[in-house]
Amino acid sequence: MISVCIIFMCVCGEFFSGVINKLSRIKSNVADAAKKRVPKIRTTWAKENERITDRMFYRLFRMKRPCFNALCSKIERAIGEKAFRSERYIQKLAKDGTSTPESRMY
């Protein structure tokens, strides 16, 4: 009985050491990928809006552009420009050279 327990412990030890080694390799790969990560460059809404066609816009947002613009205006009035963060607001913060949390997008 004791020999069976010893064999079982050896097998489990090998199994768990293999799992631990695999997890450490995965963690190392993730850390290497994080070091190589390129920061995301934010594109403006105006550029994105020009890029997509009217048909694609409708498929994405289920409304036409004028309706979408009206909806954005209503939301901005309801919650405020600080919470809505329109392009105009972000450009104003960038122009003022502020480094407050409000000026950061991500």
The whole-number pLDDT of residue 17 equals 67
Range of the domain at 57: 45-103
Q: Whole-prediction pTM value?
A: 0.51
The whole-number pLDDT of residue 58 equals 96
The per-residue pLDDT for range 12-61, each reduced to its tens digit, is 666 666 666 666 666 667 677 777 777 777 778 888 889 999 999 999 99
On whether both 66 and 23 belong to a single domain, the answer is no
Any idea what the Cα angle at residue 106 is, between residues 67 and 89, rounded to 5°? 50
Alpha-carbon gap, residue 33 to 105, rounded angstroms: 23
On whether both 57 and 76 belong to a single domain, the answer is yes
Number of domains within the chain = 2
On whether both 51 and 69 belong to a single domain, the answer is yes
On whether both 71 and 27 belong to a single domain, the answer is no
Give the C-alpha distances (Å, rounded to integers) separating 96 from 87, 91, 104. 14, 8, 13
The whole-number pLDDT of residue 2 equals 54
